[in-house]
Amino acid sequence: MASNNKQQISVLASSTFAFTICFAVWMIFAVLGIPVKTQLGLNETEFGLLTAMPVLSGSLIRVPLGIWTDRYGGRIVFFLLMLSSVVPIYMISYATEYWHFLVLGLFVGLAGGSFSVGTPYVARWFQKERRGLAMGIFGAGNSGSALTKFVAPAIIAAYGWQMLPNVYALGMLVTALLFWFFSYTDKSHQMPAGVSFSEQMKVLKDPRVWRYCQYYSVVFGGYVGLALWMTKYYVTEYGFDMQLAALLAACFSLPGGVLRALGGWISDRFGAYQVTWSVMWVCWVCFFLLSYPQTSMVIKTVNGDLNLHIGLSPWLFTVLLFVVGVAMAIGKASVFKFISDDFTDNIGAVSGVVGLAGGLGGFVLPIMFGALVDLTGVRSSAFMLLYGTVCVALVWMHFSFKQERQPVLQAA
């Protein structure tokens, strides 16, 4: 790479900061949705749909954004994307009907597509052996989810929920300007003008892309779904107020974002397959434990009835959730290490497709979480669903990499 070290660091820092703010905006309804739910009298499924609407648009836009980044460069695409979300964020403060929030949520959600812009933009500024770490540092912008949980409850408590969109709109505008002044353009990173859209999308025929889509729908889709759902989960399951609930939910969101940089470094050192495989097993164990609902049992003994209660205390629950957050942070980085290794010349399109799959997972899961609670009345059913998705990923990985493990087994 001909790029000097100063430009590399500036691009990485400005992009990571911008992505952090974009992700905080993307997760706005994780906290804002709670007073809106009370004001509008929404049920669990309607609340799930409300929180998921930004995730839907932010996911669907990822493929075209990745393609445009390959073609026009990440700096201009990232800047225009942030500017386009400022007015919709501000307009939320004037919403009064449920459909107002849903429609505005779609436009606000465009900020979530920034991942498919920043990933190829940052990756191309670094050598292959350092891309895992660089993309991991950029991906740590997922910690914007925790930022929302720290900042939003305080703003709502002090000034009312209508103030939050105003603050976020101003923050997005300032971030866009800072990004423009501290980032750079390198035209050699752009795809040649003669490459057509159909040629870029030929990569979809590669089965590895769909494999990575499923992995990412678990580690990123699951992360987004839980980040949107956990604040309300603490409120309804354990009876905490919104500020304490948001703080405890951040114990999942913060490591799930910040430690993505660690995941990039580990993936560079030990390889994407070994890291992803380990992450799936950790999630499998944790989701199994988190799935068990609060249970009261009466056991008939010779001395009379013995009453037992089985269930996770809020503190043990938070510890397990923290472990899941760490695992998902590492897993998100390892999946994109697969992509940077296998699709160096087409990172934008592939990251867009894989990001779309992960984002759609984050869109569908909160709705399914709410529907499962409405149908079963069991709040831990959310973790039962996630346990099933991890099982699918483990089975798929086992058979997909079976041939690649064979030479190692024979050598042993």
How long is the chain?
Answer: 412
Question: At 296, is the secondary structure helix, strand, or coil?
Answer: strand
Instruction: Give the residues across from 310 on adjacent strands.
Output: 295
CA distance 326 to 280: 12
Q: Which amino acid is at 203?
A: V
What stretch of H or E contains 48?
A: helix 44-60
Domain 5-183+202-411 homologous superfamily, CATH? MFS general substrate transporter like domains (1.20.1250.20)
Q: Which two tokens stand for residue 75?
A: 């700096």
Tell me the pLDDT tens digit for each residue of 363-398.
888 889 989 999 998 889 999 999 999 999 898 888
Residue 205's pLDDT is 75
What secondary structure letter does DSSP report for 295? Answer: E
Residue 2's pLDDT is 41
CA distance 341 to 132: 9
CA distance 278 to 283: 9
Residue 106's pLDDT is 93
Residue 359's pLDDT is 82
Parts of the chain with a pLDDT under 70: 1-3, 189-204, 344-346, 348, 402-412
End-to-end CA distance of the chain: 39
pTM of the model: 0.73
Tell me the pLDDT tens digit for each residue of 166-193.
999 999 999 999 999 998 887 776 666 5
Residue 352's pLDDT is 75
Residue 409's pLDDT is 41
Nearest Cα to Cα of residue 34 among 244, 318, 254, 219:
244
